[in-house]
Amino acid sequence: MKKRIQSFFNSQLDSWSLAKNNYSALKAVKTKKFKIDGIDVYACHNPARISSSSASVDKDSVERRKCFLCKENLPPDQQYLTMGNLFFLLVNPFPLSPIHFTIVSKNHKKQTITDSMDKFIRFAADLEGMAVFYNGPDCGASAPDHLHFQAISKDMAPLLKQQRMILKRFGTTIYGNNNLQLQFVDSPVNWFYFIRFNDTHKGEKAFYILYNHLSSTAKHTKEPMLNIICIMENNYWDILLFPRKKHRPPQYYFKDERHYLFSPASAEMAGLCIFPLDKDFEKINKFDLRNMLNIVCTEKERLDEINNGLREELYGLDA
């Protein structure tokens, strides 16, 4: 991480008591580790995340509240660091990891990755070694009205840590050469696309080809439902893209003992599963967790159809 970014983080913890206290509280977060067919996933009891997990993101609720990402609505103690001409960096006061940033568009515009993938990739380079992620407007973004990304410590994304093993056991190559690889990963935890590249132009192009294939079968007017995680190390970018069909699992809406306040976003899809309520953390088991992560994913049958067309179009780039 660049020195100015680390200094900014340190200064915010020194001057902002809310952030300082919540980062200190991370040390007391209770954790369970589950092994799902050889893959480690974690359940964490993090009460500070309840406002995110339970956020009302319907149109009326969003329009009624002030946007908490616009500069004029930031708390007096929350400072920002400019990131180029179009974005600024915030220390997230409700952290998932020992370092947690929100990267915010200077302009108030809707959450969409369309036309922003180049910036997303660049931020992964600026925050090298951190996991930068994007939550779609219907997939965990608590501010669907304001474009933003987030970044957490890479060690807090379990699927990234186990990436080599997961790709070897569950990955199927759709396209591959020295500069670009794309695989479909059918893991027991969830299923996703993996893109690796060292040429940002080719990586971005491959992403939008995949994005357009997912868009072609989307059943709504917004962008396809997805979560995206990106990390850049040793001059290579790795992207995990999780296609979604549901914002939240049915268990979120149950009114009986089956209820879980569990709202999967990028962190959860990457194996860091947040349970703000102690009762949910105490009862969660690997079978319920696997079910909730599986059920929000796009049907594999539909992705099989997409993969056939995707393979043909990607290899057409070499012609």
CA 35 to chain centre: 21
Residue 162 has pLDDT above 70, yes or no: yes
* Mean pLDDT over each residue of the chain, to the nearest integer: 94
Residue 126 has pLDDT above 60, yes or no: yes
In the prediction, which pLDDT does 41 show? 98
**Going by DSSP bridges, is the β-strand pair 236-243/191-197 parallel, antiparallel, or unpaired?**
antiparallel
- What are the tokens at 9? 């983080």
Report the C-alpha gap between 299 and 209 in whole angstroms.
19
Dihedral (CA of 155, 160, 164, 168) sign = positive
Task: Give the pLDDT band of residue 312 (cuts 50, 70, 90).
Answer: confident
Residue 175 has pLDDT above 90, yes or no: yes
Long-range residue pairs from 70-77, CB within 8 A, at least 24 positions apart, any chain: 70/108, 70/146, 71/106, 75/16, 75/18, 77/15, 77/16, 77/17, 77/18, 77/19
Residue 216 has pLDDT above 90, yes or no: no
Dihedral (CA of 215, 218, 220, 225) sign = negative
Task: Give the pLDDT band of residue 55 (cuts 50, 70, 90).
Answer: confident
Q: pTM score, two decimals?
A: 0.95
In the prediction, which pLDDT does 62 show? 87
- What are the tokens at 129? 């070694």
Under DSSP, the state recorded for 1 is -
- What are the tokens at 254? 């149950």
Reported as a single tens digit per residue, the pLDDT across 76-118 is 999 999 999 999 999 999 999 999 999 999 999 999 998 899 9
Reported as a single tens digit per residue, the pLDDT across 250-296 is 999 999 999 999 999 999 999 999 999 999 999 999 999 999 999 99
> For 131-139, what is the mean pLDDT?
96
For the chain, list the domains and their CATH numbers: 3-316 (3.30.428.70)
Residue 45 has pLDDT above 70, yes or no: yes
In the prediction, which pLDDT does 1 show? 64
